[in-house]
Amino acid sequence: MSLAAATIQRRDFHAADGLDAALDPRLMAVRLGGGAPCHVLDAKLEPDGTGVVLYRLGAGLVVGIMDADEELRTYPFPLDPHLPGMATAFDADAMSSVLGTVLAGHRARSDRVLRYRAELIRYRPTRRCTLRLELGLADRTRAGPVRRRVLYAKLYHDPAKAAAAYAAQVMVSAAATVEGVSFARTAGFARDMNLVLQEPLSGTPLEPLLGRGDAAAMAAAAVAALHDLDVTGARQRPIEPAVTRMRARADAVAQLDAPLGAAMATVAERLLGMLGRLDDWGATRCLIHGDCKPSQFLLDRSTVAVLDLDHSGTADPASDVGEYLASLRALEARLPSRAGARRHIARARRRFLDAYVARRGGEGLQLRVHWYEAAALLRKGYRAFQRSRRSPLAPALVAAADRRLDALGRAGRRP
């Protein structure tokens, strides 16, 4: 859909409807026009009554944004008021002009964009969008064949986040090459659109390969290699503000779900109470990934590609390992009736940790890893609550975080 063809749809809810109505696909099918089936693909609901919902309406997408007065405004994709560059990204004429300028500024060669196609890869409404771009390029200065080029483009809602993501890619690209590990190389930055361009990476997604011992070892080696990079200028990523925010969010959750809010508060307070122990357990600082989970890795026979450095910065490397383990534990929690699958995931978790420790171990590392795992589980529990206030996953993840701290308390107790 081009910008010229798109119009912003608006639907008003009565206060009695609220978020329950926004999450009812049958009701929303009617309110969005009634001519196509509607499915809720994702939701991010805040305890104060605001929220963002992503719908599939027939073959298209619709973003719903609800304010504190429970008024819902809907926008047909690719319109998103918080990502104004997204409509431009799906306009071939506009993007051909943008890319011609950006690519010319990033490489010595000056190209014209003759063909342009954008494919949606991942979309987080109001926050971020990832696209795969297929380009047909020709040299401006002389005749020649049209060259095909594939790039990935990431749009951000915030100029500072876009600039930080671009800077992180440049920083890692400038670091020493690591044998067997590759990172996405930057291809340009359209600053006015908050759009970062990346070269493609090859490989098979790690997630289907979790049961392979060598896959876990390769991923762990890639994380260790990232942590060993000698870089300067990375932003600081302290953990205390994040846990403090989760403590405040627990109080907000308690207004809607008292048992869950109380459980979240307990875990957050335990994490804050143990925060000073991290230094006792040998905490260090280095470049971290910041969003380390299986979906961030591509594997081939000899190389691991590491995706998405958006959240990278300087922090304790144990945070990446804890985040990865928490992602697997969350996957395990979604399979309560499949004992075989859960054992499979538990084995993958142990293999990753063992492989990382073997490459980059240290005194107190595993104690710190488990603290960060509990912190990540708490955050994932809150995110599950945001997606669905009736989901059993949220209390399951918060309970898993509490159990992890129980085990950590026993293991880390001073003699």
Domain ranges of the chain: 18-76, 85-198, 204-411
Q: Which two tokens stand for residue 37?
A: 């089936």
- Confidence label for 177 from pLDDT (cuts 50, 70 and 90): confident
pTM here is 0.89
Do residues 239 and 261 lie in contact, with contact meaning Cβ atoms separated by under 8 Å? no
Residue 125 to residues 42, 157, 221, 239, 377, Cα–Cα distance (Å): 9, 9, 33, 26, 23
pLDDT at 5 over 60: no
CATH code of the domain made up of 204-411: 3.90.1200.10
Higher pLDDT, 14 or 250: 250
Percent of the chain past pLDDT 70, that is, above it, reads 91
Q: Please list, in sequence order, all residues whose beta carbon lies within 8 angstroms of the beta carbon of residue 261, skipping any fewer than 6 positions away.
A: 250, 251, 252, 253, 254, 255
Torsion angle of the four alpha carbons 242, 248, 254, 260, in this order, in degrees rounded to the nearest 10: 20
Please tell me the distance from the alpha carbon of residue 87 to that of residue 76, in angstroms, as a whole number: 10
pLDDT at 7 over 60: no
List, for residues 249-258, the tens digit of each pLDDT value. 999 999 999 9
List, for residues 356-391, the tens digit of each pLDDT value. 999 988 779 999 999 999 999 999 999 999 998 888
Do residues 219 and 205 lie in contact, with contact meaning Cβ atoms separated by under 8 Å? no
pLDDT at 297 over 50: yes
List, for residues 36-83, the tens digit of each pLDDT value. 899 999 999 888 888 999 999 999 999 999 988 878 899 999 999 999
Stretch 135-163: mean pLDDT, rounded? 89
Please tell me the distance from the alpha carbon of residue 331 to that of residue 85, in angstroms, as a whole number: 33
